[in-house]
Amino acid sequence: MVRIAVAGASGYAGGELLRLLLAHPEVEIGALTAGGSAGTPLGQHQPHLLPLADRVLADTTAETLAGHDVVFLALPHGRSAELAAELGPGTVVIDCGADHRLTDADAWTRWYGGEHAGSWPYGLPELPGAREALRGTKRVAVPGCYPTAISLALFPALAAGLAEPNVVITAVTGTSGAGKSLKPHLLGAEVMGSLSAYGVGGGHRHTPEIAQNLSVAAGTPVTVSFTPVLAPLPRGILASCSAPLIGDGAAAREAYAKAYADEPFVHLLPEGTWPTTAATLGSNTVHLQVTVDPDARRLIAVAAIDNLTKGTAGGAVQCMNLALGLPETTGLPVTGVAP
Amino acid sequence: MVRIAVAGASGYAGGELLRLLLAHPEVEIGALTAGGSAGTPLGQHQPHLLPLADRVLADTTAETLAGHDVVFLALPHGRSAELAAELGPGTVVIDCGADHRLTDADAWTRWYGGEHAGSWPYGLPELPGAREALRGTKRVAVPGCYPTAISLALFPALAAGLAEPNVVITAVTGTSGAGKSLKPHLLGAEVMGSLSAYGVGGGHRHTPEIAQNLSVAAGTPVTVSFTPVLAPLPRGILASCSAPLIGDGAAAREAYAKAYADEPFVHLLPEGTWPTTAATLGSNTVHLQVTVDPDARRLIAVAAIDNLTKGTAGGAVQCMNLALGLPETTGLPVTGVAP
Amino acid sequence: MVRIAVAGASGYAGGELLRLLLAHPEVEIGALTAGGSAGTPLGQHQPHLLPLADRVLADTTAETLAGHDVVFLALPHGRSAELAAELGPGTVVIDCGADHRLTDADAWTRWYGGEHAGSWPYGLPELPGAREALRGTKRVAVPGCYPTAISLALFPALAAGLAEPNVVITAVTGTSGAGKSLKPHLLGAEVMGSLSAYGVGGGHRHTPEIAQNLSVAAGTPVTVSFTPVLAPLPRGILASCSAPLIGDGAAAREAYAKAYADEPFVHLLPEGTWPTTAATLGSNTVHLQVTVDPDARRLIAVAAIDNLTKGTAGGAVQCMNLALGLPETTGLPVTGVAP
Amino acid sequence: MVRIAVAGASGYAGGELLRLLLAHPEVEIGALTAGGSAGTPLGQHQPHLLPLADRVLADTTAETLAGHDVVFLALPHGRSAELAAELGPGTVVIDCGADHRLTDADAWTRWYGGEHAGSWPYGLPELPGAREALRGTKRVAVPGCYPTAISLALFPALAAGLAEPNVVITAVTGTSGAGKSLKPHLLGAEVMGSLSAYGVGGGHRHTPEIAQNLSVAAGTPVTVSFTPVLAPLPRGILASCSAPLIGDGAAAREAYAKAYADEPFVHLLPEGTWPTTAATLGSNTVHLQVTVDPDARRLIAVAAIDNLTKGTAGGAVQCMNLALGLPETTGLPVTGVAP
């Protein structure tokens, strides 16, 4: 059995990690740590995780996290580099935060401030070349939830030269993406019955991560216009993505079918069917569709994921499987919980 | 007092018309008609409209609708031309349906099928030139809900030459926009907790209407890529709209401020603040923001409306006021119901 | 014109007061005050209240509130007695908080702690005798939202001797009832998709207020079992109330019809129709139904209200109208905003 | 491997059965049948069930269902007796419908009409004596969703003589409980933002089933007052249940702890913690709490379940495990999907 620890177990990402890890046949759950909630039982924060209800949260320190085969970090950004260093090179460290996602140190400093801690293998195995880098790795930078959905929606078109490297994205998300932050605009009474845009005009920190992924796929810098929208549901991202068409788009569907033919977690829907986030709830699956608008001469792809599962914790477990040499799909649901 | 009738009083648009007309100081409510619900009391379908609860719905016929100063039609498309002809040229007929919105007969036939019934003055007074055509008119084509939000979000930029005539829109909507249709995907259990795209790739009938409005504003044909998204809330449209920037965008905010300086129902939010649909609930107000993404070199505008109020019934009453020579804002709320 | 002030204008009760007062024909809006939000514009907290968006919130002090005809207090409990004393006996003070609702000083101390500040005329005009006490009063204790719905659901049965003084209530509410408190269980992601009970077993502070109202109606002490449930919607209370039947219940409907025959804001639904909170959204109306379960031998009444309107701010304005000698319904909507 | 068939695979109960059975290690999924949807692929109705997306639905006939070890029936009531007879006594038939739940033929006729088809072993293993009857059985009557939550909430108190046989229940439910019926009041726009009561006053068909279960537990006829409430969420039942206290209630918690000490799917929450339905989403777990209201002298128990899982399909699979002699918990999740 693989012994794992989760730092940040009282939050949404930590809770989803534990939900998946409880069902993982090769895993034994070790230390669970938290910040302000240290000293309280997990059941107080995650009442859905019955088998762990009485576990008391420890402080997030390297001492507590030491001695595990795998340590998942679900922490605010800026904390993982130091912790990883203290855990030593033999521990698999899987960082659900942003610290090691960007390869460009200047981009890091511009978007997050401070000094770049360096990049780790990027945890989106479906991207070209990514899976190989993850096999046997001791360090994983789990992608952001938006970049997961958007990169998978667009990279086949860019890689196949079917769309210009100039993409426009509006992605709608449920509110768990913002974490358990106590902010007025995240209160239920504010969220329910409302839609709101935020970080418009290039303000969202996931923008450079999306650009990085798509630029690698396209083999040329890709310009990204990204608008996130908050909608009244707990989980789910629906990413509406488009780019100017190259050619007539006849090859679009084929390119996507080929790109994802062997991917266990990416489902290209039958033609004419469009994704719904409910179909992905709690699963590690991406539902995807692509089409061409002949009047507007744009290629349009829409992806749906569960932001906490494939968008965070499921992606992290998928990477753990690769890092440990386990079958990649071990312990990961492909069916959603609907309706 | 102006005597009005509403055809289609059991539906969502009809209900919202009656909610607003009940509060209108110059209006007396006459005949209320329906299709399959004729013969039943309105209270059975619209329990929120207490003062009209005992009114029995009549059949939608020209006879029933005759003898009113204003007749609102909230009917499936294809029915208004004939009814309007029978009501005579002296009656103000305000069509909340699509029949008379498009000026291009070929576009009508392509998108709706059948023969075009001709266009009527377009009921979006905030568009350049539109208000004048509505004053004293006997016929009004009320815009679609999406075209209302999107046209107001983008026309100032196009009219001022700040953006290229090539726009990309993803608009998220509540489910009342689909009407009271008994379709499986509109059931509460399907809608709640889910986001879904539909009509992607140029499939939505509002696309030519949006293109028509924006092309007039730009003085040149505008290419429109439009993706609608269904979200779990009853009312509200949040339209995320963008286009390639011309110049550096420094004049963008000024152009919008100028375009809407005297508009009672369009509110350009303070810089840095983005619209939420909840703030517009039940009101005739558009909340709007514009910015520039310097990296992506795009102008981005986001508009929020209540699809049933400013997007349908409120816009219709605004046009009635203009048609009758009443102050344009009579009986129309500018404050939303929030949270 | 009546000049009014609102203390606590940045919260939900304050916002709803202002929404209603903006539409009130006899009112001029004066000082708006807040606690931690003082110094910021109202539009930042209440973006739906467009006409007041630029008003800057003042500190909640007697100085700021002085010089108005009516002062509404939407504050945490414990603050109104002192403020009212400083405002002087000539000012109409309408307290949306709990300080002056209970007539029994011991009950106050048991449920709220500290010393009782004395009771004020109770602002539920539909209760027997209450309206008379409110006419011309300078002080009003606005009822709690649950007691409003529950008292109106049950008092006619108790007053008519149709039910035993031993009632069981489960009331389901939207989350705005908890105010804009930054508590984890009120976050959108926690609330949406969930139902939860709280304050079970006699723990909710509205229990003694319910008992007080019903005991007056019954002319004998009434035992109250009250369970509140939080549901995923912003506004609305649906109170399911029952008591053992006296007799066969044949007179139940008649008793309710009689009790509410002249009440402008209480709507006894047609037989066989049950209330929905959506029909009351944003209105000052109570939708009510009563029936008898012959097998269980219980009388069952269900009431729906908007907790922020009839349950708080609408009830407060109704009381202001009575206090000032205005027609009781002035400025108060009876139609809800639905769907 | 056990070969199973599901009749009614396009509905909500059928979909949830398949979600669970896909994860069940001992099961192989055979025929999937439907009524009006026969001939279409399952993926069109249940897009979340990826591994079965291309399976074409067959007609619901005995021929199609024959040759399986276990047949699950998720059909409208009235159809299971005949089908079961045709399938023969050797097939395990698990009926998610109501046909065989009631033991009293007169009660059946009164509540459902027509002739009673006889009762089958009742599929709530946690009830005293029920588990034994389910072991090795060839026929199972799966309980209704409300009776599941309510019976488990109240039977320990009645069995222990801690409460009088006279119970009052208000249970709030998500809308999937009504199935995929195309009824106006189940449309998303009607459901979201609203709470509504229905079947009040003894009108709900689950009432006699609740009374039957509780009467067995109490050893005396139990009077049941049951009010169901529809709330805006897809899944979940929160049942608020109470009865007059016998004695002082000091033994209440102990009685519940004892009743459920060995039950894998019933979780008595720590004192002072109340259930939320979100914690049970997609799981077979019941979250339960009990307390005493000393003022009202009532015992109050609140149970939360997922109506589609423990309330229908999870309960059905639990019974299948018992019928087949498998470990009772095989393939059934105890952790919910939250937030």
Number of Cβ pairs closer than 8 Å across C and D?
Answer: 182
The reply to whether C334 falls in a domain is: no
The reply to whether D20 falls in a domain is: yes
The reply to whether D339 falls in a domain is: no
Q: What residues of B are in contact with residue D174 (Cβ under 8 Å)?
A: 189
H-helix segments, C227-309: 252-259
Q: Per-residue pLDDT for chain B (339 aa), expressed as one digit of tens each?
A: 999 999 999 999 999 999 999 999 999 999 999 999 999 999 999 999 999 999 999 999 999 999 999 999 999 888 888 899 999 999 999 999 999 999 999 999 999 998 999 999 999 999 999 999 999 999 999 999 999 999 999 999 999 999 999 999 999 999 999 999 999 999 999 999 999 999 999 889 999 999 999 999 999 999 999 999 999 999 999 999 999 999 999 999 999 999 999 999 999 999 999 999 999 999 999 999 999 999 999 999 999 999 999 999 999 999 999 999 999 999 999 999 999
C-alpha gyration radius of chain D: 19
Confidence band for C202, pLDDT divided at 50, 70 and 90: confident
Give the separation between CA C188 and CA A234, rounded to whole angstroms.
Answer: 7
Q: How many CB atoms sit inside 10 A of residue B301's CB?
A: 28
The reply to whether A99 falls in a domain is: yes
Number of domains forming the structure of chain B: 2
User: Cβ contacts of residue A74 below 8 Å, gap of 6+?
Assistant: A6, A7, A8, A9, A11, A13, A14, A17, A96, A97, A312
User: Is pLDDT of A72 > 90?
Assistant: yes
- Clarify whether residues A181 and A136 are in a common domain: no
The reply to whether D330 falls in a domain is: no
The reply to whether B154 falls in a domain is: yes
Q: What residues of C are in contact with residue D289 (Cβ under 8 Å)?
A: 197, 200
The nearest CA of chain C is from the CA of B72 a distance in Å of 19
Q: pTM, whole model, 2 decimals?
A: 0.97
Containing C17, the helix (H) or strand (E) segment is helix C12-22
Give the separation between CA A283 and CA A336, rounded to whole angstroms.
Answer: 5
Give the separation between CA B185 and CA A77, rounded to whole angstroms.
Answer: 39
- At residue B77, the pLDDT reads 84
Considering only CB atoms, B223 lies closest to which of A189, A196, A295, namely A295
* C9-45: pLDDT as tens digits: 999 999 999 999 999 999 999 999 999 999 999 999 9
> For B281, how many CA atoms within 13 A lie in the half-sphere containing its CB?
29
* A317-336: pLDDT as tens digits: 999 999 999 999 999 999 99
User: Cβ contacts of residue C64 below 8 Å, gap of 6+?
Assistant: C5, C31, C33, C58
Structure tokens at C267: 């709507």
Would you call B182 and D182 a contact, using CB atoms and an 8 Å cutoff?
Answer: yes
Cα-based angle B22, B23, B24 (whole degrees, multiple of 5): 95
Q: Does C19 touch chain B (CB under 8 A)?
A: yes
Would you call C234 and A193 a contact, using CB atoms and an 8 Å cutoff?
Answer: yes
- Clarify whether residues D126 and D185 are in a common domain: no
**Mean of pLDDT values over A294-307:** 97
Domain that holds residue A261: 146-305
- Clarify whether residues D299 and D317 are in a common domain: no
Would you call D236 and C194 a contact, using CB atoms and an 8 Å cutoff?
Answer: yes
Number of Cβ pairs closer than 8 Å across B and D?
Answer: 68
- Clarify whether residues D94 and D159 are in a common domain: no
The nearest CA of chain A is from the CA of D104 a distance in Å of 34
Give the separation between CA A49 and CA A57, rounded to whole angstroms.
Answer: 14
Would you call B176 and C339 a contact, using CB atoms and an 8 Å cutoff?
Answer: yes
Q: Does A337 touch chain B (CB under 8 A)?
A: no
Q: Does D8 touch chain A (CB under 8 A)?
A: no
Query: With contact defined as beta carbons under 8 Å apart, do C29 and C21 qualify?
Result: yes
Query: With contact defined as beta carbons under 8 Å apart, do A17 and A308 qualify?
Result: no
User: How does strand C223-230 pair with strand C298-305?
Assistant: unpaired
Give the separation between CA B234 and CA B278, rounded to whole angstroms.
Answer: 11
Cα–chain center distance at C172:
15
The nearest CA of chain A is from the CA of C261 a distance in Å of 34
- Clarify whether residues C134 and C173 are in a common domain: no
- In terms of C-beta density within 10 A (0-12 exposed, 13-18 middle, 19 or more buried), how is residue D52 classed? buried
Structure tokens at D152: 């488990």
The nearest CA of chain D is from the CA of B105 a distance in Å of 34
Q: Does B180 touch chain D (CB under 8 A)?
A: yes
User: Is pLDDT of C51 > 90?
Assistant: yes
> For C77, how many CA atoms within 13 A lie in the half-sphere containing its CB?
20
In the numeric block, the tokens 């009391």 are attached to B41
Positive or negative torsion for Cα B245, B251, B256, B258: negative
- Clarify whether residues A316 and A269 are in a common domain: no
Containing B224, the helix (H) or strand (E) segment is strand B223-230
The nearest CA of chain D is from the CA of A183 a distance in Å of 17
User: Is pLDDT of C131 > 90?
Assistant: yes
Structure tokens at A293: 């608008």
Considering only CB atoms, D194 lies closest to which of C192, C200, C278, namely C278
Cα-based angle A235, A238, A239 (whole degrees, multiple of 5): 140
Is C96 assigned a catalytic role?
no
Query: With contact defined as beta carbons under 8 Å apart, do A3 and A31 qualify?
Result: no
Positive or negative torsion for Cα D119, D124, D125, D128: negative
User: How does strand A237-244 pair with strand A166-173?
Assistant: antiparallel
CB-based burial, A175-201: b 16+ in 10 Å, e otherwise: bbbbbbeeeeebbbbbbbbbbbbbebb
pLDDT beneath 50: ranges in chain D:
none
3 state SS of C220 = coil
> For D124, how many CA atoms within 13 A lie in the half-sphere containing its CB?
26
CA distances from C173 to A185, B15, C57, C204, C232 (A): 20, 25, 29, 13, 8
Q: If contacts are CB pairs under 8 Å, which of residues 238-297 in chain B contact chain C?
A: 267, 269-270, 273, 276, 278-283, 285, 287
Give the separation between CA C339 and CA D192, rounded to whole angstroms.
Answer: 8
In the numeric block, the tokens 């209320």 are attached to B32
Q: What residues of C are in contact with residue B336 (Cβ under 8 Å)?
A: 48
User: How does strand B27-34 pair with strand B2-7?
Assistant: parallel
Strand order in the sheet with B298-305: B196-197, B223-230, B166-173, B237-244, B298-305, B286-293, B266-268
CATH of the domain at D320: 3.40.50.720
Confidence band for C81, pLDDT divided at 50, 70 and 90: confident
- Clarify whether residues B14 and B102 are in a common domain: yes
Would you call C267 and B334 a contact, using CB atoms and an 8 Å cutoff?
Answer: no
Query: With contact defined as beta carbons under 8 Å apart, do C142 and C316 qualify?
Result: yes
- Clarify whether residues D135 and D154 are in a common domain: no
* C246-304: pLDDT as tens digits: 999 999 999 999 999 999 999 999 999 999 999 999 999 999 999 999 999 999 999 99
Backbone angles phi, psi at D137, to 5 degrees: -65, 155
Is the preceding omega at residue B41 within 30 degrees of 0, hence cis? no
Containing B165, the helix (H) or strand (E) segment is none
Q: What residues of C are in contact with residue A12 (Cβ under 8 Å)?
A: 189
H-helix segments, D219-311: 252-259
In the numeric block, the tokens 């890529």 are attached to B225
Give the separation between CA B24 and CA D282, rounded to whole angstroms.
Answer: 49
Mean pLDDT of the residues in chain A: 97
Would you call C175 and A193 a contact, using CB atoms and an 8 Å cutoff?
Answer: no
- Clarify whether residues A127 and A150 are in a common domain: no
Choose, out of C12, C192, C237, C307, the residue to mutate when testing the contact with A (most A CBs < 10 Å).
Answer: C192
| Mutual angle of helices B206-218 and B105-112, in 10-degree steps | 150
User: Cβ contacts of residue C106 below 8 Å, gap of 6+?
Assistant: none
CATH of the domain at A194: 3.30.360.10
The reply to whether A334 falls in a domain is: no
Query: With contact defined as beta carbons under 8 Å apart, do C17 and C72 qualify?
Result: yes
Choose among C233, C216, C243: nearest CA to C300.
C243
Containing B16, the helix (H) or strand (E) segment is helix B12-22
Structure tokens at B199: 């009509």
Would you call C190 and A188 a contact, using CB atoms and an 8 Å cutoff?
Answer: yes
CB-based burial, D8-39: b 16+ in 10 Å, e otherwise: bbbbbbbbbbbbbbbbbeebebbbbbbeebbe
- Clarify whether residues D301 and D158 are in a common domain: yes
- Clarify whether residues B137 and B176 are in a common domain: no
Choose among C311, C226, C219, C222: nearest CA to C265.
C311
User: How does strand A286-293 pair with strand A266-268?
Assistant: parallel
User: Cβ contacts of residue B254 below 8 Å, gap of 6+?
Assistant: none
- Clarify whether residues A123 and A199 are in a common domain: no
* A123-171: pLDDT as tens digits: 999 999 999 999 999 999 999 999 999 999 999 999 999 999 999 999 9
B233 to chain D: closest CA residue:
D192
The reply to whether D280 falls in a domain is: yes
Would you call C192 and A192 a contact, using CB atoms and an 8 Å cutoff?
Answer: yes
Where in the sequence numbering do the catalytic residues of D fall?
A: 145
Neighbours of chain D (3+ CB pairs under 8 A): A, B, C
H-helix segments, chain A: 12-22, 62-65, 80-87, 105-112, 130-134, 145-159, 188-191, 206-218, 252-259, 314-324
By percentage, how much of chain A surpasses pLDDT 90? 96
